[in-house]
Amino acid sequence: MNPPKPQDEEAPWSVGFCDCFSDMKTCCIVCWCPCIIFGQIAEIVDKGSTSCGTSGALYTLIMFITGVPCLYSCFYRSKLREQYKLKGGGCGDCLLHCCCETCALTQEYRELRNRGFDMSIGCTACFCPCITFGQIAEITNKGSTSCGASAALYASIFFITGCPGLYSCFFRSRLRKQYNLEGGTCGDCMRHFWCEPCALTQEYRELENRGFDMYIGWHANVEKNPGLAMAPVVEKGMTK
């Protein structure tokens, strides 16, 4: 019979440091927009005490001022290790982020995802709301408009007026009517006006909780699960 492991024994990471190329999607996002991935990591590691958008914005600010954002991000690797008793040390955390920020962030992102966290929402709505809105619009319109077309129109309205909520709030109303959710048109507009990321994130998660895979679009969802195209049941309000 094997002796029990000591409680303070460090566990290995679920993915290797140099395995970033096995997840090209995450790797590409880290290369082009590391603030998005870092913001998602920071919000989860801080257990919601700091928002994804705030952490991502601070990361970007440090990057532009110092050119070395790893001075900030390496501390979150240490926090993550301490929370899950992962192998490593303080000096190693700094060196890994200094030598390859992309590999370090990708490993941390995948570690949290492998532990059951949904890393795909929240920050995307803050930094690239057109993507989240496009996915919502395609599902809400039942495929009559594509994700790309809706996202492009959203971005155009954003650059012209500075208030994309003038457009996106109508899709919240449409979503409510489809699923008989609580609320009103005035409330829909106010929510999108005061906090567009919060409104889009809630709508995204509502559709996701109803069984939609937000990455594959309406038609692929219906092919995968024909029951999604059936009439919805009456609900009291949106889920979180």
Each residue's pLDDT tens digit, 106-143: 999 999 988 888 776 666 676 678 888 988 999 999 99
pTM of the model: 0.56
pLDDT at residue 32 in the model:
81
Do 47 and 30 belong together in one domain? yes
Residue 125, C-beta contacts closer than 8 angstroms, at least 6 positions apart: 132, 196, 197, 198, 200, 201, 204
Residue that is last in its domain, among 95, 116, 137: 116
pLDDT at residue 62 in the model:
93
pLDDT at residue 237 in the model:
60
Containing structural domain, residue 96: 20-116
State how far Cα 197 lies from the chain centre: 11
Instruction: Evaluate whether residue 70 is within a structural domain.
Output: yes
Angle between the N-to-C axes of helices 165-179 and 196-209, in degrees from 0 to 180, rounded to the nearest 10: 30
Instruction: Evaluate whether residue 8 is within a structural domain.
Output: no
- Give 202-240 pLDDT, tens digit per residue: 898 889 888 898 878 898 888 888 887 764 544 556 655
The residue that leads in pLDDT, 18 or 3, is 18
**Residue 7: how many other CB atoms lie within 10 Å:** 6
pLDDT at residue 1 in the model:
47
pLDDT at residue 234 in the model:
46
- Give 33-54 pLDDT, tens digit per residue: 888 888 889 888 988 787 777 8
Quote the DSSP letter at residue 40. Answer: H
Cα dist. 152→37, 135, 147 in Å?
Answer: 23, 12, 9
* Lookup: tokens for 84: 């899950």
SS3 23: coil
Instruction: Evaluate whether residue 9 is within a structural domain.
Output: no
Do 108 and 154 belong together in one domain? no
Do 88 and 141 belong together in one domain? no
Do 26 and 93 belong together in one domain? yes
Do 67 and 108 belong together in one domain? yes
CA distance 231 to 159: 36
State the Rg of the chain over Cα: 20
Do 112 and 128 belong together in one domain? no
Q: How many domains, in total, are found in the chain?
A: 2
Do 110 and 150 belong together in one domain? no
- Tokens 């590691």 map to which residue? 45
Instruction: Evaluate whether residue 3 is within a structural domain.
Output: no
Instruction: Evaluate whether residue 97 is within a structural domain.
Output: yes
* Mean per-residue pLDDT of the chain: 84
Do 54 and 83 belong together in one domain? yes
Res. 29: pLDDT tops 70: yes
